[in-house]
Amino acid sequence: MIRHGASSPVRTSPHGSVTPDPLRGFGRLLFTVLRRLPKNALSRWMGRVASLALWGPVQRAEIRLFAWLSGVDLNEARDEIEDFSSLQRFFTRALVPGARPIEGGERVLVSPCDGVWGAAGRIEGGTMLQVKGRSYRVSELLGDDDLAEAFEAGCYATFYLSPKDYHRFHTPAAGRITRVDHHPGALWPVNEIGLRGVDALFARNERVCAFLEPDGLGADAPLALVAVGATMVGSIRLAFGTQRTNQRAKEPSRREYGAGAPHFERGEEWGHFEFGSTIVLLTPPGEIELEFGAPGDRLRMGRRIGSWGGLRD
């Protein structure tokens, strides 16, 4: 059964008691303002604004200004600035061939995106860390109590994408995506204010959970790839099907692909954010081991982050 994530930003401990808010001063003020804003509607509006096609010289100036302010490396973009019809098209740009080489062999797990490492570690007691000192439950993230049990004693890793990053996300291993769940929810920011001010942030925000059965491991060892929405992320879009988020949907949905499940090569694109947000990767216990980075460490799509089958070199 698919469950909704928590819908209120009231902060409680895993045992149900209210916990003290660590935000102070200006951070607390911003949290209060954000709490009152219509974050989903605002994000939809921003998505429409970013998709506007402006007069050529103005459009090029807008893209160049954004790239300069954000620190985007324009040399990596496959297309010239003149080829982007809107700022949104630039957000979701493709890269020049070879910009993100895929490391290792077929038993090497690679980063699904550009960004930085967040919390990562072993799943214990059905919980993971959102940030140091604050945990949340796998069952809340996936919205499925039975499936959450399959990841007990496995690993998790959190990857944050910033506005300057490449916004497309890819498969860490070759395999079939057999199921996709969509969980509507809030769109809190995934920055320090959201991480420290909102319990179970990734389980409250709108998200798409895809389940990948790696070649050679199959249904006994699926990976969970969770694309989490955030404030100002106009939408999450998949490279297959017509799934699109932040569309005023109120009920969770699930699609199981069965024999027609799409197959992806290692490092193949399976979706993109229309701005930037977060990917949470879950691996089951047993064969697969992640090689954790420290919070804040940079990584690029295609870099080695783990392996299976005892492969260590």
Positions marked catalytic: 114, 170, 277
Q: CA-to-CA distance for 120 and 292, rounded, in angstroms?
A: 6
Q: Tokens for 283?
A: 């691996």
CA atoms within 13 A on the CB side of 104: 22
Helices assigned H by DSSP within 121-237: 138-142, 145-149, 192-197, 201-204
Q: Tokens for 28?
A: 């607390």
* DSSP letter (8 states) at residue 86: S
CB of 198 closer than 8 Å to CB of 11: yes
Q: CA-to-CA distance for 38 and 36, rounded, in angstroms?
A: 7
Nearest to 255 by CA among 269, 241, 265: 241
Measured in degrees and rounded to the nearest 5, phi and psi for residue 75 equal -65, -20
C-alpha distances (whole Å) from 192 to each of 63, 134, 196, 232, 279 are 27, 13, 6, 16, 16
Angle at CA of residue 183, ends 308 and 143, nearest 5°? 60
Q: CA-to-CA distance for 275 and 234, rounded, in angstroms?
A: 7
